[in-house]
Structures are given as C-alpha cells and as structure tokens.
Amino acid sequence: MEGFNTFEKQDKVLIGMSGGVDSSVAVRILQEQGFAVQGAVIRFSPAHDAAVTAAQATADTLKIPLHVIDAEQAFETHVILPFCENYCAGRTPNPCIACNPLVKFRLLAEKADELGCAFIATGHYARVEVGEDGISRIAVPESAARDQSYMLYRLPQDILRKLVLPLGEFEKDDIREMARELQLACADAPDSMEICFIPDGDYSAYIRARGFSPKAGRFIGPDGEDLGAHAGVDHYTVGQRKGLGIAAGRPLFVKAILPSGDIQLAETGQEYSTRMTLTDLATPDGEPLTAGEYLVKIRSAATPTPCRYDGSGSVTFPEPVRAPAPGQSAVFYRDGLVYGGGIIDTTD
C-alpha cells in the first residue's frame, strides 16, 4: 500500500469492524504493517446487534480492544428516513452512499480523535492515493471484481487524509485464505448482499411498517394504454423486468416512475439513455467537478462507461447506457481515481 508500508508502534489506527471476514483480516494486515490497532463496531440499529457480537469475538481472537459506538439516532436521521422518503417518491436510493460520509466514517474519525489514533481504516476494497496536487482521492483496488470505490465517492478530504484501506491490494480469495490461517469463525461466512438494516430484503414491508405511504398509481404501457394498478412505487425500480405482475403479452420493463405515481413501461430496446442530469454533486476536495471527459459508473456493479460532463450537472453518453435510475449515484473516474459524483435526477 503506497504511503502505508512501514510504521512504528506509536502509529495508532482505529478500524471499523463488523465481524465479517474483510474487516477482520484487515486487522491482521494492519498489525503486520506496524500499526497499533484498535477496533470499533458501530451499532447503527437493532438489526446490528449480531454484528456487535461477531466483532467482539474477532477482537478477542486478534487481541485488540474494541469500542462500541452507538449511532442509532444519526443513522435514523441521515440514512433510514431519507431511504424511506426516496423510495416513497419512486426513486432508488443507495443507503451506503449516504451512510459513509455522514455516519460511518464521521463517527470513526471522531472516535479516533478521542482515542489519539492518527488513522482510521475499514475493510473496503479500494485504495487512497495522494495526487501531485496534494488532493487525496479514492482509487480502484487491485480486485476489479470486488471494487467498492463507488461507495466511497462522497468522503471528504479530512476523512481521506487519515484513511487506510488495507484490502486494496488483495483479491477476496486471498482474504478468505488469511482468515482460515487465523482460524477466524467468519472465514467462510457468505458475503452480505442485503441492505444492513433490512436483513430480510423486504424493503416495502419495512417502509410501510414505519408508517410511510408510498405513492400508488397505474402501469402505463408503451403506447399509453392503462395496464392496471400497481402495488405502490416502493415495489419497483427503473430497469426492472421481473415481478411486475402484469400480463401484457410481451416482455416489458420499468422505463420511468412518474411524479404522479404512475409507472411508464417500455419494450426491450427502449431502456437506454443518452443523457442524465445530476444533483447534490460531491468531490474529494469540495471544489466543483471540472467539465470534461470521464468514465462513469451509474451503479455499484456497473462497468465504467465513457461520458462527458458539462460542469453544471448534465452528463451525455457517446453510446447509450442501460437504465440509469433516479436516486442512484453516478461516479466519475479518471486513471482509476474517483474525481466525484452525484445523484441521478433525470434521464433522457
């Protein structure tokens, strides 16, 4: 890891732990790099109690102190409520994008300051690089298959300057093998795929149980025909093909969720866009994103695609891209570095 190869024992780092294999092995990598490691597990909600227990077991095995940080109120304010509100408005939010700068990394940094730790760390697959301009930026990891740089694009400079990401040089198989060698209980645990505060994955039930009322409306077919009532906008996202619950006689997908609550459907081949607009842009140094050519990812697992950014929120694509979804993030890259991103607002 460039810039983090040799350390003295007085170099203290606080690592965010979840009890999972990635953050657990990251502890040992940091220890081998010479850091004096302390752990922190953040209790974001009651759904995270098991993570607190698992993190404590790992901390005991690796013989490091573990601090439990309560974040239930901050998580409710900055993550859960906006998540529910966005789904009710027909958008597709990514809660990790909001949580990382506003809750997770902010609380880690505050706890590190309290403990006298100069650095913070997590088990994300990404790297941090400092450019000739002195700006620290998130960089893509060695493992393209595990790349989590997209999730970290909103981290500000004060966080990036103290952030260590020890897994950026490794493949997932390497990490699991290290976990087995360390005899960690999490060595072969499956990766978590669901949203952390909705373990069963039923977003709609969760949102409605909290008293929200997602917009109702009608399915509108490709030719403007009324195809019947839908189950509520919280059940659908742009690009969705399965689970629509209609028999149209031909394959259809969600083209757009309209402000009225109606859902516009389209046929295969009509799911591509050549332009989108963004809101709430963020960059590592807080300066406006410069107009120009970039590679952009429109969802976490998407392949970066060429685009042009106009400097004021508009993005055009030389080749159409499939189903950019309002509420998701668009993240801009150059030479493997994250230059910024924003929330997708509209598409054409």
Task: Give the CA distances from residue 43 to residues 56, 89, 182, in Å, rounded to whole numbers and listed in that order.
Answer: 12, 28, 25
**Which amino acid would we find at residue 136?**
S
Burial of 243 (0-12, 13-18, 19+ CB in 10 A): exposed
Q: Do 6 and 105 form a contact (C-beta atoms < 8 A)?
A: no
DSSP calls for 221-263:
-TTS-EEEE-S-GGG--TT--SS-----SS-EEEEEE-TTS-E
Annotated catalytic residue within 84, 88, 96, 196: 196
Q: Is 117 among the catalytic positions?
A: no
Task: Give the CA distances from residue 176 to residues 127, 172, 173, in Å, rounded to whole numbers and listed in that order.
Answer: 19, 6, 5
Rounded Cα distance between 79 and 96, Å, is 8
Pinpoint the alpha helices (H) of the chain.
21-32, 49-62, 72-75, 81-88, 95-99, 105-115, 157-160, 172-181, 203-209
Q: Do 25 and 175 form a contact (C-beta atoms < 8 A)?
A: yes
Rounded Cα distance between 290 and 309, Å, is 8
Q: Is 307 among the catalytic positions?
A: no
The structure tokens listed for 66 are: 């573990």
User: Closest by alpha carbon to 95, among 300, 313, 337, 303?
Assistant: 300
User: Closest by alpha carbon to 41, among 62, 25, 65?
Assistant: 65
Annotated catalytic residue within 99, 117, 186, 307: 99
Rounded Cα distance between 140 and 335, Å, is 9
Q: Give catalytic residue positions.
A: 99, 196
